[in-house]
Structure 1
């Protein structure tokens, strides 16, 4: 199999790249700007270019054709229009990475399948993903473009601790607060249901869809079957850090109203909703798929890696101050209502 990944070094794609590099009979190309290629396996071929420079990319792939092309970094319809111009007639399968956040919010049923309606009025990111899917489906129906749409949910790797509420510089500051025995914010009451998927497990499902004739024209979600609450998620992270969790629960609406971050989209349009994913379709298409990394085990590996690699520890003092302000405001409101 000859495959081209646009991107290939991100949270979702890096594990796929590693696993494919160890697979006999797979010739893998990555098309990216070369910013994070230093740790790529030696047998991965790099086409160094900016995918947005369409003429340059067209010259690079002029004499190439592929069994699979996968775009991991497309977020808007015009980017898929570019991909169609570049790869129509050059690939037997085009895989687009959409998002489970595109599913209906609020959900009419917390059990999510590929048939769950796509509608998210809270998050532009999700609406753009929906528009991308609609464009590709049109090309499949009218032009025979061989698409497969993949919908990941919250997928994590060893480089960043997965959380619900963090600042624009990542999640390290929350871990730092835990290590300092400071309170951390959990959205809502922490009992909503969520799914965390390790990128190693995601890669198993994704590779099973590559070159799979039954996946053409289909949308498929890839997640773990494990369901956890946000309280359990934060408790597992605290345990991995070797500290006691000091949690403060704050409503998602309040967080969205008083933050510069996009918590309206990220929380109300995504993480504040209870979701349980039904992966029956994936398992029908990829019969040997099983997500084998339990969250408390996977996050221990992530925490160990982050603690051992200072480059993963980006401090965010502005977010730290904001957390203190939110917690102080909440405690002050409680005191005021009680008449103290």
Structure 2
């Protein structure tokens, strides 16, 4: 099985845009389907763009007509209802449907480390993860029934230059530059896997058209193990901050004050993230990540510094971090 034509459902997100660029570099005929809204990530020349709402089954069916693609990579299916629609839409249109799931679906707290693809999927804390698990189960059953040929991909925390990978986003960097404290959960020493989207894309490419990938699930993430302290210090260094002030609070204290952070913290970030990538390396021969987070942090800061409109400070988040770091009294 060989992939020469590839349809991306999405194609302009933090992960999918890098995968589009990589597929173009590898000479594939690439089509993207999305709503065509404004994005910070441009679509490469030569990519066919289909404009439709990926979650409107009739709209997608109309615009695709009777077209087929060797592989279809879906970055926009998040719920089992959407997965059921994907089976109906894409099952007869492709030899390989790649479903982008999430490593946050793995059991929390993790049953064992490192986390390989056989660790149970169970996350009682985050609805997003539970929905991804439900999608995987539905697609597994549909694959077994012969209605679609599925490859599941489970990325961990994957970023590009547009994303500050700390809760609070650019507001955190702005505070560091103003000499104000920021907050991290726990003592900041929990290991975390963070992967540049360009590195993810090179491994993802190896799954396209691979017979060994059909019916299988794959972890794709960087082997670079960082702590949350190290991630914050790399960002501070890239932002030109020599003595960052970091305050540590328990996850419990954080979610009491910031319930909007509850699912992400208890469902993912507060647990150690050490993954086994043996399986993807068996297909992505010689794959090595090329962008350590220290370099990724410099890309993030440079991209934001290049345009003042990107440096958005959220006053509510700023006030929240003030409360969490003890700069103002909590009422």
TM-score (norm 2): 0.95
How much does 1:329 deviate?
A: 7.8
CA apart distance, 1:109: 1.5
Partners of 2:132 and 2:304 lie apart in 1 by: 30
**Counterpart selection for 1:149 from 140, 149, 152:** 152
Aligned to 2:126: 123
Match of 2:210 among 206, 209, 212: 212
Contact 1:9 1:36 in 2 (8 A): no
SS in 2 for 1:217: coil
Deviation at 1:330, TM superposition (A): 9.6
Q: Deviations over 1:73-97 (max 9, x none)?
A: 1110000111111111110100111
- What per-residue deviation string (whole Å, max 9, x for no partner) do you get for residues 235-288 of structure 1? 111000110210000101111112141x22101110111121110000012212
Q: Are 2:226 and 1:228 aligned? A: yes
* 8 Å Cα contact 2:91/2:147 also seen in 1: no
Deviations 1:147-206 (A, max 9, x none): 00000100010112211x22xxxx110000001010000111001000110000000011
Deviations 1:209-259 (A, max 9, x none): 111111000010100001011111101110001102100001011111121
Describe the SS at the equivalent of 2:32: strand
Q: 1:29 aligns with which of 9, 28, 31?
A: 31
Aligned position for 2:47 = 44
Distance 1:282 1:36 in 2: 33
The structural deviation recorded for 1:41 is: 1.3
Q: Is 1:187 paired with 2:185? A: yes
Match of 1:158 among 155, 158, 161: 161
**How many residue pairs get matched?**
325
**1:254 counterpart residue number:** 253
Distance 2:164 2:55 in 1: 30
Work out whether residues 160 and 312 of structure 1, in 8 Å CA contact, stay in contact via their aligned partners in 2. Answer: no
Matches within 5 A, 1:264-279: 264-279=262-277
User: Structure 1 unaligned runs (5+)?
Assistant: 333-340
Distance 1:314 1:211 in 2: 41
Alignment partner of 2:117: what SS?
Answer: coil
Q: CA RMSD in A?
A: 1.5
CA, structure 1 residues 330+279, in 2 after alignment: closer, same or farther (shift >3 Å)? farther
Q: Which runs of 5+ in 2 are unaligned?
A: none
After TM superposition, the runs of 4+ consecutive aligned structure 1 residues lying more than 6 A away are 329-332
